[in-house]
Amino acid sequence: TEVIIVKNQDDAGSIYAQRVAQLIGSKPDCVLGLATGSSPLAAYRQLAALVASDSIDVSKVRGFALDEYAGLDPNHPQSYKSTINRTVVEPLGLDPEKIHVPNGNLSTIAEAGHAYDKAIEEARGVDIQILGIGTDGHIGFNEPGSSLASGTRIKTLTEQTRIDNARFFDDDINQVPTHCITQGIGTILKARHLILLAFGSGKAEAIAETVEGGISSFCPASALQLHPHATVIVDEAAASRLR
Ligand code: F6R
């Protein structure tokens, strides 16, 4: 795993943006793996700026998001569908038809995971997958204990994750969905290049486990060690527990 220590989120974001811009130049219909959460926001901003200043043609770019809440209306402002639209699709000017988010509709969720993995395969896989990491080492909504070979599937949200995310639902945990649909760790590992971003001391322990700990489902992100092309970009605080 390649580790890059940067000064701040903007510097991390511009490394991501340059690699993606290069990719779009050589493969205009490339496939981006997208994440929600706070860690990738600067990267999306830097990419949007680069796309605008170099007038990069993004009309053919395709994308697959990592995860979605189960049983939440996709039009709800906190659905990951809405969040990806707001933070990625609109600022970059992507074609919304080409950007996919797992379908959290409860009536079809049993088959939706397999269908999503098939759609990724039919797109010939993800070129660059951006990832954040939870303080417990989760990637996507793959909490500790998730199979490292898992495909996209329904998962129960942990109590901690629901507490963490209550801030987006009027600080009311009862409004936070109890389940989600998430790309599996096996799905994520199929992407050709993984770029994991982490900032702040709260992520330091998880980053040390991810990069230097044993490969274990107790730290789902440690599966990055199995990947031939994984890049971890961190600030000094998130790197502080590395040896
Ligand atoms: C987002 C996702 C999560 C987050 C992680 C870190 O789609 O799947 O794994 O990447 O919870 O969140 P932030 O970046 O907000 O610290």
Q: Residue 190 sits in which domain range?
A: 2-238
> Does a structural domain hold residue 122?
yes
Q: One digit per residue, pLDDT tens: the chain, 243 residues? A: 999 999 999 999 999 999 999 999 999 999 999 999 999 999 999 999 999 999 999 999 999 999 999 999 999 999 999 999 999 999 999 999 999 999 999 999 999 999 999 999 999 999 999 999 999 999 999 999 999 999 999 999 999 889 989 999 999 999 999 999 999 999 999 999 999 999 999 999 999 999 999 999 999 999 999 999 999 999 999 999 999
Q: Ligand 1 centroid to 37 CA: how many Å?
A: 4
Q: Ligand 1 centroid to 171 CA: how many Å?
A: 18
Q: What total of structural domains would you count in the chain?
A: 1
Tokens of 60: 């053919």
For residues 132 and 42, what is the distance between their CA atoms, to the nearest angstrom?
Answer: 12
The CATH number of residue 71's host domain is: 3.40.50.1360
Residues in the chain, how many? 243
Give the binding-site residues of ligand 1, using a 6 Å CB cut-off: 35-39, 66-67, 132-134, 138-141
Q: Ligand 1 centroid to 203 CA: how many Å?
A: 11
The pLDDT of residue 229: 98
Residue range 61-115, pLDDT digits in tens? 999 999 999 999 999 999 999 999 999 999 999 999 999 999 999 999 999 999 9
Rounded to 5 degrees, what are φ and ψ at 80? -70, -25
> Does a structural domain hold residue 243?
no
Ligand 1 atom, smallest distance to 138 CA? 9
The pLDDT of residue 234: 98
The pLDDT of residue 164: 86
Q: Ligand 1 centroid to 141 CA: how many Å?
A: 8
| Alpha carbon separation from 108 to 50, 111, 114, 179, 181 (Å, rounded) | 39, 6, 11, 14, 11
Residue with CA closest to ligand 1 atom 1: 36
What is the best residue among 32, 41, 44, 66 to mutate for testing ligand 1's pocket, by most ligand atoms within 8 Å of CB?
A: 66
Q: Quote the pTM value.
A: 0.97
> Does a structural domain hold residue 54?
yes
> Does a structural domain hold residue 107?
yes
| Alpha carbon separation from 130 to 15, 99, 160 (Å, rounded) | 12, 15, 23
The pLDDT of residue 215: 98
Residue with CA closest to ligand 1 atom 11: 134
> Does a structural domain hold residue 31?
yes
Give me the active site residues, please.
67, 136, 138, 143
Query: What was the ipTM of the complex prediction?
Result: 0.98
